[in-house]
Amino acid sequence: MKCCAGSSCRAFERVFDASYAEDDLEHYRKHGPARATRLLLQAIQEATPVAGAKLLDIGGGVGAAHHELLKAGARSAVDVDGSSAFLAAARREAERLGHADRVTYLHGDFVALADAVAPADIVTLDRVICCYPDMPQLVGAAAARAQRVLGLVFPRDAWWTRAGVWCINLFERLRRDSLLFYVHRLAELDAVVERGGLRLRFHRSAGVLWQVRVYAR
Ligand SMILES: C[S@@+](CC[C@H](N)C(=O)[O-])C[C@H]1O[C@@H](n2cnc3c(N)ncnc32)[C@H](O)[C@@H]1O
């Protein structure tokens, strides 16, 4: 594991703390992946064979995306997360599921670590770009490492998500090490991914809040 420094990482450690990780893990164990994650996984499996694939799960949280793809036959995964509590929860779950020896854990901001992270067949950013200030850097570095498929879940570009994020950010700005949330424009996101050589393969809304986009090389 690498040490996570900088204001983004301090914010990840503050917000994505042990009690949040515990709740998320308990929810995943009881109910499986969230609806948007299930849609993402299904679209990835339709876009590329998962058997034997190498995964890169950026901001993996408790690891739902990579746990499910490892169960479906993927060979190995790298989980990069700015939250040490979420990394620890993902590792605990991998141990329980018996595939911890196939996962490598990196602690830190993916944008800072990217040069040292090997490319993977399947790269996921599941509900991650909404809490990072520099979408082009994060998505550009992820796309550059996606050898076959890049899958994202992020907030729908709608007035109600913008209003929600505006309210959350109003309170967050009052805190030290604030973690601001973002709703990105689809055209900007697509342009960044396409510059990385991938094309849109699947897109769908998942409820009122989230949308799923999968790109393939
Ligand atoms: C809302 S959680 C989502 C977790 C999981 N992917 C899911 O969908 O349940 C966002 C996670 O992304 C991580 N994260 C956000 N930006 C990151 C970055 N640039 N590098 C590493 N981790 C990041 C946070 O630490 C947090 O664990």
- Ligand 1 pocket mutation, candidates 115, 128, 154, 209, criterion most atoms within 8 A of CB: 128
Of ligand 1's listed atoms, the one at least distance from the Cα of 108 is 21
Q: What is 7-216's CATH number?
A: 3.40.50.150
The tokens describing 92, both together, are 């605990």
Integer Cα distance of 80 and 98 in angstroms: 20
Give me the residues paired with residue 58 across strands: 80
Yes or no: say if 11 and 179 are a contact pair by the CB < 8 Å rule. yes
- Sketch the domain layout of the chain as residue ranges: 7-216
Using most ligand atoms within 8 A of CB, pick from 12, 13, 145 the residue to mutate for ligand 1: 12
Tell me the HSE value of 173 on the side-chain side, using a 13 A CA sphere: 6
Q: What is the pLDDT along the chain (217 residues), one digit of tens a residue?
A: 445 666 778 899 999 999 999 999 999 999 999 999 999 999 999 999 999 999 999 999 999 999 999 999 999 999 999 999 999 999 999 999 999 999 999 999 999 999 999 999 999 999 999 999 999 999 999 999 999 999 999 999 999 999 999 999 998 888 877 889 999 999 999 999 999 999 999 999 999 999 999 999 9
Distance 61 CA to ligand 1 centre (A): 6
Retrieve residue 137's tokens: 């850097």
- d(CA 142, CA 134) in angstroms, rounded, equals 12
Q: Quick one: CA torsion of 43, 138, 14, 36, rounded to 10 degrees? A: -10
* Residues near ligand 1 (Cβ within 6 A): 12, 16, 37, 58-61, 64, 80-83, 86, 109-111, 126-128, 131-132, 138
Reported pTM = 0.95
Lookup: tokens for 66: 């990579």
Closest-CA residue to 94 (of 124, 137, 60) = 60
Task: Give the tokens for residue 78.
Answer: 């790298």
The rounded Å distance from CA 131 to ligand 1 centre is 8
Continuous H helices in the chain: 7-15, 18-31, 35-47, 64-71, 84-97, 110-113, 135-144, 159-172, 186-195
The alpha carbon of 110 and the centre of ligand 1 are apart by a number of angstroms equal to: 10
Q: At what angle do helices 186-195 and 135-144 cross, to 10 degrees?
A: 40
Distance 58 CA to ligand 1 centre (A): 7
Q: Tell me which amino acid residue 13 is.
A: E
